[in-house]
Amino acid sequence: MANNNEQQGNMGSMTNVIEKNIKTLVERRRLDERNKPTAERVADAVTRFTGNMAFVYTHAIVFGIWILLNVSWFHLKPFDPQLLGLQVFASLEAIFLSTFVLMSQNSMDAQADKRADLDLHISLLAEHEITKLISLVTAIANKLDIEEAKNPEINELSQDVLPEKVMDSVENTKGKDLRR
């Protein structure tokens, strides 16, 4: 019974940590969003609007009406009989939209880089902590004369991992794969 209550207490504590972390991350995203330069906020808003079906429907209607009015279906005098105005409008719009999309992507790339840096930092901290725990548990196991403490793999696991060496190893492996 006490064990069950202890587990529930630990779960409550874990839930609190998870909720705190989520709230911290959400608040950080809100802060980052508020601190974005106006140009980035405008680019994001334009990208959100142009990236949905309302934008497609609006264009289909506007371009359809433009074309219908200029091919003499309604026996009205065309204002753009060769549709050159429509071509210019569509070309200019494409230039501006692609610029807004690229600005928005650059902003998202910067956010992704920040998150990747945070992930790497947390992973390196966890690796360091685990390495220290292995050393501590191995020392305890040696003191208690537990046979598994003499496993050579444990000695290797208790060494700090140097990020530079891992990165060099990954790059060397990739380089070998590319030469094949």
* Prediction pTM value: 0.63
Q: Is the pLDDT of residue 11 over 70?
A: no
How does 38-50 read in b/e, with b if 16+ C-beta sit within 10 Å?
A: eebeebbebbeeb
pLDDT higher than 90, residue 177: no
Query: Quick one: tokens of 82?
Result: 């060769």
Query: For residue 155, what pLDDT band results from cuts at 50, 70 and 90?
Result: confident
pLDDT value at position 10? 56
pLDDT at residue 149 greater than cutoff 90: no
Residue 101 has, within 13 A of its CA and on its CB side, a CA count of: 9
What distance in Å separates the CA atoms of residue 48 and residue 102, rounded to the nearest whole number?
Answer: 13
* For residues 56-75, average pLDDT: 90
Q: How many CA atoms lie within 13 A of 99 on its CB side?
A: 8
> 26: alpha, beta or left, given left = phi > 0 and alpha = psi -120 to 50?
alpha
Question: According to the model, what pLDDT value does residue 133 have?
Answer: 93
Name the CA dihedral angle for 82, 84, 89, 95, rounded to a multiple of 10 degrees. Answer: 130
> Is it the case that residue 141 has pLDDT exceeding 60?
yes
Q: For residue 170, what pLDDT band results from cuts at 50, 70 and 90? A: confident
Average pLDDT rounded to a whole number, residues 5-10: 54
